[in-house]
Amino acid sequence: MKLNFGEKLLRIFLISIIIIVCSIISFAQTLSSDSLAVDSVSHPFLLPIPTIGALDRENLSSNQLVDSVINFSNYRYTGDLLELKAGIFSRDFGSLGPLPGLNILGINGKGISFFADGVQLNEPFTGMYNPYLFPTESIENIETITGTRAFIYGLNSTGAAINFLTKSKKALKPYSRIRYSESGYGFSIIDGMVSQDVIRGMNITAGAQHTVYGQRYLNENYDNWNARIKARYNLNENFNLFASEMYNQSLLGIWQGVNILQTPDSLRYEVLQAVVRNTEAYEKITRHDIQMGAAARLLPDSNAISMFTLYYISNVRQYRDLENKPFSNGIYSDQKFVSNWVGAKLNQNFAVGIHSFDFGAEIQSQQITYTPAEKTCHAINSNFYGKSESNILEWLQISPYARLDFAHSRTFLGFGADIKFKLTPCFAIFGGYSRSYRLPTFQETIGIDTIISSDLNNDPERHHLFESGISWNPDNNFSFEVKTFNRIIWNAVTVTPSTQEPTIPFKYSRSSKSIFRGITGSAKAQFWFLLFEGTTEYLEISENSNLTSSLPRWSCTGGLYFRDKILSNHLDLKFGLRGRYFSNYFAEEYNFEAGEYLPSSFGYQIQPTGVLDLVILAHLGQAYIHLIWDNVLNKKYIMNAFYPMPERQMRFGVSWEFLD
């Protein structure tokens, strides 16, 4: 008898629960009552296994953005924090909610994998994830892995792997945190979180967030509700159980920018007089993320962590343009995309002498249903990966790694290695190479009704990436890194105009060879009370030997701040100017229904732009206060055609922790 998707899901969860329970009983029987008694006396609470869900535990300290840094950062949503890393550029739409045009070393969102505690979040139909759905206040730290080794951690993570490690407090007494932030045009975020150890070794952390924006232009609005809960039970200091659920429901107005054909140049930035392209379309997303599992120290080495995780994710996206408003655009669309995926993954790390090892395995079942085509697609993917780091000499480190994917009844082997020469304790030269694959998404092989057709097969893109660089980190007050990269993509998936089907203007096709090359740099320096931090990127993209200009050649971010503790160390203050700059590029039209940039005549040449923000961040007692004067020079500019960025406005708020 053939099982349906729900029955398969139920069977996987029941079998997995039995395995976990049997493992707990077996492990508990190995512990003597004497050892438990000593533990209960020596610690008022059981110490949890740290950083559960980390992708690269060995290098976590160099890849992470911890909450103490997040608290002193200028951000509206989680995606803003990613731009603190070199090589990351986001084409902003000027409002909250739209899937950001995120690019890392030139690779777009289909090659960037997002994770929550090690579980991949990317929705399988489009292959992308919207970071607006992940509340910043639930994040303990952000693990960002780019470069040659990123591909081993997730399906299609050829560009980067970004992992949100969530908070799970040790709270013998009740802990709570409230964040409120507001700005112009109805923008506000309110988030509340509570945490409490309900019994010895068991913590419950729960939170809720409401984000709202609009409207500046007609139909430019966003409303999102988020709720989450996480439970952690420390059976002892060597065995932890965890479970979590996150729920999101969002409503986004799809106004499609200013209609430059009907709006004079002088009025395009006038919110009351500019004509928008769509007054009635909207997108609604309902999403559940559920995971549970166990982490254990099963080996003599206390740093060796074994992890087993089960997860189930459901994402329902509705796009509607129903022609029910006074100003109609003449387009009717009612699309619904339902994605469900369930899986299990196992991870292990350990060290033997001068060698450390990471390996893991995962199996995932996917089901996609979309209307009005009334089609359903299934896929089962599995993978194995492994990584080793060897300190051959005190000044020499070598790291080989590989990933084996089983998908579409085929096998794909990606591999690579990097090397680091530590010429001094604080100065290093590094380099690496990897060959990896990006599999086409369901959307790329099926297409989107009336917008993009497709006759692609399941042949993957093949990525070859070389990188090299230097780093200098003499102390905590100074750091400097420069890196060059050269990525060649064979068989790349692109969107081109279609002449085969007159009712469908575009199609997915292949580019025989694409090249992404450039340089990234980052620096931080603090002299007494002056702090400078900044990043820069130079990027060249060519397709079939022709240079393209879909992204800026140069992009930079940086800030100069007063940073010190004053008033007898009671006030920790960060005050100064933050600047952003990008060179000119050609912005193609973004189609929200398809989630793609389309090569149409609506594109626009974006001019070089620099913007300054006045930033005041303060920590006083248990409160973090932010006062931001965005776009202080009132620069009129765009990053997508044609979506005006906000004019000069104030943004302020507070995050307050209550420890009892």
Domain with 181 in it: what CATH number?
2.40.170.20
| Structure confidence at residue 517 (pLDDT) | 98
Task: Find, among 342, 341, 436, the residue nearest to 126 by Cα.
Answer: 341
Fill in the DSSP letter of residue 109. Answer: G
- SS3 assignment, position 41: helix
Strands 119-120 and 139-146, by their bridges, are unpaired
- SS3 assignment, position 2: coil
Fill in the DSSP letter of residue 30. Answer: T
What is the Cα–Cα distance from 143 to 67, expressed in whole angstroms?
A: 11
18: in domain: no
Q: Is the pLDDT of residue 43 over 60?
A: no
Write the CB contacts of 642 (distance below 8 Å, at least 6 apart in sequence).
257, 258, 259, 260, 268, 604
Q: Provide the residue range defining the domain that includes 167.
A: 31-658
**Mean pLDDT, rounded, for 549-578:** 96
To 5 degrees, how large is the angle CA 36–CA 38–CA 41? 110
Tell whether pTM > 0.75. yes
Task: Find, among 392, 396, 325, 299, the residue nearest to 354 by Cα.
Answer: 392
176-214 pLDDT, tens digit per residue, is 999 999 999 999 999 999 999 998 889 999 999 999 998
Q: How confident is the model at residue 31 (pLDDT cuts 50, 70, 90)?
A: very low
16: in domain: no
Q: Is the pLDDT of residue 6 over 60?
A: no
> Looking at 48-52, 336-340, 342-346, which range is the least confident one?
48-52
153: in domain: yes
7: in domain: no
Write the CB contacts of 287 (distance below 8 Å, at least 6 apart in sequence).
133, 246, 247, 248, 249, 313, 314, 315, 316
| Structure confidence at residue 500 (pLDDT) | 76
Q: How confident is the model at residue 133 (pLDDT cuts 50, 70, 90)?
A: very high
Q: How confident is the model at residue 545 (pLDDT cuts 50, 70, 90)?
A: confident
What is the Cα–Cα distance from 21 to 11, expressed in whole angstroms?
A: 16
Which contiguous run of DSSP H or E holds residue 67?
A: helix 67-71
| Structure confidence at residue 614 (pLDDT) | 98
What is the Cα–Cα distance from 659 to 174, expressed in whole angstroms?
A: 6
14: in domain: no
Specify whether the CB–CB gap between 587 and 606 falls below 8 A. yes
Task: Find, among 646, 650, 528, the residue nearest to 92 by Cα.
Answer: 646
- SS3 assignment, position 637: coil
Average pLDDT, the chain: 91
209: in domain: yes
What is the Cα–Cα distance from 625 to 621, expressed in whole angstroms?
A: 11
| Structure confidence at residue 108 (pLDDT) | 96
Q: How confident is the model at residue 322 (pLDDT cuts 50, 70, 90)?
A: confident
251: in domain: yes
276: in domain: yes
Ramachandran sector of residue 570 (left: φ over 0; alpha: ψ -120 to 50; beta: rest): alpha
| Structure confidence at residue 172 (pLDDT) | 78
**Mean pLDDT, rounded, for 536-551:** 93
**Bond into 642 cis (ω within 30):** yes
Question: What is the domain count for the chain?
Answer: 1
